[in-house]
Structure 1
Amino acid sequence: MKVDSHQHFWEYDPKRQDWITDDMKRIRRNFLPGDLFPLLQDAKIDGCIAVQAEESLRETDFLLDLADQHEWILGVVGWADLGRDDLEKVLENYTENPHLVGFREVLQSKDPRYMLREEFIRGIHKLGEKGYTYDLLTFPRHLQSALELIKKCPNQRFVIDHLSKPDIKSGEWKDWKKLISPLAERELVFCKLSGMVTEADWKKWKPEDLFPYLEISLELFGPDRLMFGSDWPVCLVTGEYEQVFRVIEDFTSQLSSSEQDRIWGETALEFYQIS
């Protein structure tokens, strides 16, 4: 089974999606399952993981409702305030919903030490107790704190979104590799091959610009802890779904069929515990 491990849906609202700037106006509209499904079919992808793009429980409920309506939405990575005192009660409200597989917060917009607050770490432990995963949305400057977080939560399954957004536009990779390598040494830390085109030069990126970062990710994590993600519709600000898909397809063509199977779906299904 082929899986897109990272995409978003939204009903566009300029206040809720205030992160969509003027130079991203192409995605200032609704993006719903009917928009994505034909793209998945063209790419012969069987299902996807819908990931939060808004920090609200409304967002979690919205995505879960879509997953209830479309069987090919295999799982939802929702949002919750991990620092709230009644987090356990919030999580209990979702216990019976099989589509909720994990949580995420927009850590990239916050101070790196935000994730090391006592209440945040306590929240991560509560997620683990319920069997939920955690997506780390960070920039490289957050990775040192992310490593500290991971060490404090040794039994938690984490996945790094978008390779932690290295500065692909400048071609810099040495500092990024140095920062992400210690995280890759932790066996419960995975990585998504996603979101790279928006870190490259939006107007003139080419697949070769992304290959060094893909090669390093493969070296550090291996195919058993890597998963394909499109980051649709955010990727549309600089490329089409097919272009993003083809980059990973070309890159993985060097691998064995079993290694390709891992990156294209098996890793995501295992990480999110989807059967």
Structure 2
Amino acid sequence: MTIDSHQHFWKYEPVKHSWIDDDMANIRKDFMPLDLKLIYNQNNIDGCVAIQSDQTLEETNFLIDLAAKNDFIKGIVGWVDFRGNDIDTVLEHYSQFDKVKGFRHIVQGEADPNFLLRPDFLKGISKLEKNNFTYDILVFPHQLGAVLEFVKQFPNIKFVIDHIAKPYIKDGFYEGWAVLMTEIAKQQNVYCKLSGMITEADYKTWTYEALLPYMRLVLNVFGVERILFGSDWPVCLVAGNYEKVKKITTDFIAKLSLEEQRAIMGLNAVEFYNL
């Protein structure tokens, strides 16, 4: 079974999706399950995990509705306000939906590099364990110091780092990112998605070879048991297409055993998200 652990749906709205800048103009439109189903049929993908891209409860409910109507959406990662006083009630509400697997906050967009360590945020995150929810970590490399402190506080919560923490591939920066990713990977409850790499490289001139050092580091420190394939569709379309994105990962893991390849391409996602 091949599972895409990271993709998005949206009905495009200029204000809501203002993060889609002029360089990404080709994704300023709707992306819905019917579009993705066709791509999955062409690329032998069995199912996916849909990830929030807007920080509202309406977004979470939108994904729940799509998942209820489309069986290939095996799970969703929504958004809730972890700093809210009603976090217990909100998580209790979402625990009734089988396809709600976890949550995410767009931490990369927060000006405070230590946002994850704010007391009110930590208090909210601590509530995930009770409902067996996961948490997706979306950060830039300069926020990885906070990530290390963050994950150490919750050994019983399953975390996954989105897009290998968005290293500055376009600029060739590697060392600082690599040091912190190595330390974070020592926490056995932290996984990592091989996703979102071509959009951290140069959109037009990226090469497979430029991505290799980053993928090798992730494989070395997380191991085959804690890596998940993800496409980051439709964001990936600004720098390539679905087939190219999938091929990056399948080419990279081609020398591993078939069992290890199956783990990275789907079984690890099934296990992590309890699909």
TM-score, L = length of structure 2:
0.98
State the Cα distance separating 1:117 from its structure 2 match: 1.2
Query: Who is 1:170 aligned against?
Result: 171
1:39 is paired with a residue whose SS is helix
Residue 77 of structure 1 corresponds to 77
The reply on whether 1:194 has 2:195 as its aligned counterpart is yes
Alpha-carbon distance between aligned partners in 2 of 1:16 and 1:131, rounded to the nearest angstrom: 30
2:93 counterpart residue number: 93
Do the aligned partners of 1:104 and 1:134 also contact (CA within 8 Å) in 2?
yes
Task: Confirm whether residue 33 of structure 1 aligns to residue 53 of structure 2.
Answer: no
SS in 1 for 2:205: coil
Question: Mean Cα displacement is larger for which, 87-96 or 56-65?
Answer: 87-96
Distance 1:42 1:208 in 2: 26
- Which residue in 2 is equivalent to 1:257? 258
Structure 1 residues 138-180: Cα deviation after superposition (integer angstroms, max 9, x where no partner): 0111111011111111211100000000011122222210111
Q: Is 1:182 the counterpart of 2:183 in the alignment?
A: yes
Post-superposition offset of 1:199: 0.3
Q: Indicate whether 1:3 and 2:33 are aligned.
A: no
Q: Distance in 2 between matches of 1:106 and 1:259?
A: 31
Letter in 2 for 1:185: K
Query: What CA distance in whole angstroms lies between the structure 1 residues aligned with 2:159 and 2:61?
Result: 22
Identify the residue that residue 21 of structure 1 maps to in structure 2.
21
Post-superposition offset of 1:183: 0.6
Secondary structure in 2 aligned to 1:227? strand
Q: Deviations over 1:68-120 (max 9, x none)?
A: 00011000000000010111111122222101000001000111211111111
May I ask how many residue pairs the two structures share in their alignment? 274
Q: Aligned partners of 1:256 and 1:171: how far apart in 2?
A: 30
Question: Aligned-pair RMSD on alpha carbons?
Answer: 0.8
Give me the TM-score of the superposition, normalised by structure 1: 0.98
Rounded to whole Å, the distance in 1 between the matches of 2:36 and 2:23 is: 22
SS in 1 for 2:199: helix
Could you list the structure 1 runs, at least 4 aligned residues long, displaced by more than 4 angstroms after superposition: none
Opposite residue 266 of structure 2, the aligned amino acid is G
Determine the C-alpha separation between the residues in 1 that align with 2:180 and 2:94.
35
Is 1:53 paired with 2:69?
Answer: no
Distance 1:4 1:157 in 2: 18
34-43 or 64-73: which moved more? 34-43
Identity %: 48
SS of residue paired to 2:49: strand
Structure 2 residue aligned with 1:124: 125
| 3-state DSSP of counterpart to 1:82 | coil
Structure 1 runs not aligned, ≥5 long? none
